[in-house]
Amino acid sequence: MAKTFFITTAIDYTNAAPHIGHAYEKILSDVIARYHRMKGEEVFFLTGVDQHGQKVQQSAEKQGLAPAEFAAGVTEKFIALWTKLGLSHDAWAATTEPLHKDVVRKILQSLYDAGEIYKASYSGFYSVRQEQFLTDKERGEDGEFGPEWGEVVEITEENYYFRLAKHRDWLLSYIDAHPGYVTPAFRQAELRNAVERLSGDLCISRPKARLEWGIELPFDPGYVTYVWFDALVNYISFGGYWNGAEPHNAEFDSRWPALHVIGKDILVPAHGVYWPIILHAAGFTDAEIPPLLVHGYINIGGAKMSKSLGNIVDPAILSEKYGPGALRYYLMREAATGQDMEFSEDRLVIRYNTDLANDLGNLLNRTLNMAKRYRASVVKKPADNAEWLAEIKAVVELYTAKMDGYLTHAALEAAFGLAAKCNAYIETQAPWKLAKDPAQADQLDAVLYNLAEALRVLSILISPVLPEAAAGMAAQLNIPAGLTLADVATPLADGHVLGAPTPLFPRIEIPAAE
C-alpha cells in the first residue's frame, strides 16, 4: 500500500464555543492537507472534538444539562464552523464515539497487563470548588492557598499511575537522534529541557465520585480515565489502529505516523512527553513516533484570549461578514507558522483589498478583458517565452519549498510575488499601445499568453488556501478545475480560448469613520 500523508489537528475542547485560535489551527492543517493532495499524494486528514473531562462536566452543570447533551451542542458549533470555513477533513474524531472508547480501554488494559500502570495512594491538598489537587505552585506569597480555591482540604486518594519516569531516558535519546521531531526547532529545544526536568509518573485516573464524564477504566469501574489519556488516543483510534481483533493493520500502518498540528501550549507535557511515551510503552517503534508541528498563538489586544477579558473574536461572524476566503487568506498570509500573531480585523480587510481584490483580482480581470477586446479571448503560444516560463517555474519551486516546510505565509508571498510581477509587466508592456501598432501584433500575443499562463499557475498555487477562488479562476480561464502541481509543466495550449471575466474578489468597502 502506498504511504498516505496523515495529518491531524488537536481535537478542540468542547467546554466552550470555537474561537479564532481554533480556526487558525484548522485552516493551517487544511491548507497543508490540500497542498499534499495537490502534490498527488494520498491524504488522510483527521480533526475533531475532545468531549470528555471535568471542564465539560462543570460547564454542563452550570447550564443544567447532561454532559453528553452539552458536549453535543458545542460539537454542533464546531461542525458548523468547519463546514463554513471549507475544511476538507477525511474523518471526524469525536471522543464519545464507541469505537474510540473501545480503543482507549484496550490500550489501558494492555498497558496495565504489561505493568506500565499501577495503583498508588496520594495525599495532598484538594480544592473542593475547583475539583483539583493543589501543589506548592498554587500557594500565594504568604504560603497560603488563595480564596479562589474555596475550601481546601487534605485528602488521601487512591489512583492509577502510568510509568512515565521510567521512559525518560528513552525519550531524551529519541529527541537527540531525531532533530526534525518538532517544528520549529526552537520548540524541540524547549521540549528537551522539559524532559530533562521530568520526574514522577502520570496520574491517569479520576475517581467517579469526582468525575463521571469520562471513559471507565477497564480494570476498575470505580474510575474514569484522565481526559488527556483519552484525547491523545484519538489520533490512532480514528486512524484505524485497533478496529479489528488485534492492534495495527495494513491500512493504519500505511498512514501512521501522522503529522500532529498543535498549538504551543500543548507541546509540554501532553504531546511532547505523555504521547510519545504512551506510544513507546504500547510498543510503537521509534520510526512510529509522530512528528509535531507547533504553531503560535493568535492574540487579541496583546493578550491571550480569555472569556473574562471579553476579547474573543468569533470566527463564524468574521466568515459571515467577509467570506471564508478572506479569513483563510488573512490567517495564512499574516501568521508566520510557529510565531504568535496579533489579530486585527483592519489587517484582514487590508490584506483582502490589497492582495486579493487589487493584485490578483484586477490582474485576472484586466487580462481577460484585454484578451477579449484585442483577440476575441484566443491566446496564441509565443515562439519563444522560455524565459517567462522559467520565471514561473522558479516561483513554483520557491512556493513548494516553503509549503513543504509548512510556511504558508512565505509560500503565499512567493505566489503573490508572481501576481505583482504580472502587474508590472502589464505596465511596462502597455498592451493598449501594442494593440494600436500592427507591427507589434506578435508581441501583444506573447504578452496576453504569458499573463494567461501565469494566472493559470496562480490558480493552482492559491488553491490550498483559496479553493473556491481557485475554482472561480479556473472557470474564467476556461481550464479544468482541480489542476495539480504536476500540471504546472503543461502550459496553455496554442489557440486556447479564455472565458468571460467576472469580478472574483469584490472590494470590501470600509464605512467612513464617523
Positions in the binding site for ligand ME8 (CB under 6 A): 10-13, 21-22, 24-25, 50, 231-232, 234, 262-263, 265-266, 297-298, 305
Burial 255-265 (b: 16+ CB within 10 A, else e): bbbbbbbbbee
**C-beta atoms surrounding 323 within 10 Å:** 19
Q: Which is nearer to ligand ME8, 26 or 106 (CB)?
A: 26
Question: How far apart, in whole angstroms, are the C-alpha atoms of residue 110 and residue 106?
Answer: 6
DSSP state at residue 224? E
Q: Which is nearer to ligand ME8, 126 or 226 (CB)?
A: 226
Q: Which is nearer to ligand ME8, 297 or 399 (CB)?
A: 297
DSSP state at residue 436? T
CB 501 within 8 A of CB 377: no
Dig out the grid coordinates for 49 from the structure. 472534538
CB of 21 to ligand ME8, least distance (A): 2
Q: Which is nearer to ligand ME8, 10 or 357 (CB)?
A: 10
Q: Which is nearer to ligand ME8, 234 or 337 (CB)?
A: 234
CB of 337 to ligand ME8, least distance (A): 11
Q: What are phi and psi of 163, to 5 degrees?
A: -75, 80
Amino acid in the structure at residue 241? Y
Q: Which is nearer to ligand ME8, 315 or 361 (CB)?
A: 315
CB of 448 to ligand ME8, least distance (A): 44
Q: Which is nearer to ligand ME8, 305 or 457 (CB)?
A: 305
Pairing mode of beta strands 91-94, 43-50: parallel
Dig out the grid coordinates for 452 from the structure. 494567461
Per DSSP (E only), the strands in 321-448 are: 341-342, 378-379
Please state, in angstroms and as integers, the Cα–Cα distance from residue 353 to each residue in 251, 322, 416, 486, following that order.
45, 11, 13, 30
Burial 393-403 (b: 16+ CB within 10 A, else e): eebbebbbebb
CB of 237 to ligand ME8, least distance (A): 11
